[in-house]
Amino acid sequence: MKPYPHTYTVMADATATGLVPLSSAGLPVLQTAPPAEFDGPGDVWSPESLLVASVANCFILTFRGVSRASSFAWERLECHVDGILERADGVTRFTRYTTHARLTVKAGTDRAKATALLERAEKVCLITNSLNGERHLEVELVEVAA
């Protein structure tokens, strides 16, 4: 890993109507628009969906790191995140993020260790640590034949 600080630069360039393309050096352009809840088309990524997607993506990538550091073998991690957007204290903001994690492991795996590593990943995820909303983790462990 490179030393901190890290800088991430994204460019947005748009007209008064239509999609807003996002670009960053070396990455494909991503088209965005307001979500349907804000009268957008609802069929492209929005700032709201991108923020919640970042929580899910960071959780999985962080779990990969903590499980590798702990020599913990696993088969699959399915994750979905519910981000709740509300009007609170006079501003519209995300107030709560619930991460639903479904971890598939081989039969006989230490379930307590699996849960602890999932909790650790949620706790150290840099995206959720950068946000203000409440955080909740719901864990489901699934065992498959070894």
Domain limits of the chain?
A: 47-144
State residue 146's pLDDT score: 81
pLDDT digits (tens, 9 = 90+) for 3-16: 999 999 999 999 99
Instruction: Say which residue the tokens 């307001």 belong to.
Output: 34
Assign domain 47-144 to a CATH class.
Answer: alpha beta
Q: Using one digit for the tens of pLDDT, what is the confidence trace for 50-107?
A: 999 999 999 999 999 999 999 999 999 999 999 999 998 999 999 999 999 999 999 9
| 48 pLDDT higher than 90 | yes
User: What is the dihedral angle through the alpha carbons of 114, 119, 120, 122, rounded to the nearest 10 degrees?
Assistant: 130
* Percent of the chain whose predicted confidence (pLDDT) is above 70: 100
Interval 26-50 mean pLDDT: 97
Sheet order of strands, 91-106 included: 76-88, 91-106, 134-144
Q: pLDDT-based confidence at 47, cuts 50/70/90?
A: very high
- Give the model's pLDDT for residue 70: 98
Q: Is 28 helix (H, G, I), strand (E, B) or coil?
A: coil
Whether 43 has a pLDDT exceeding 90, the answer reads yes
CA distance 126 to 124: 6
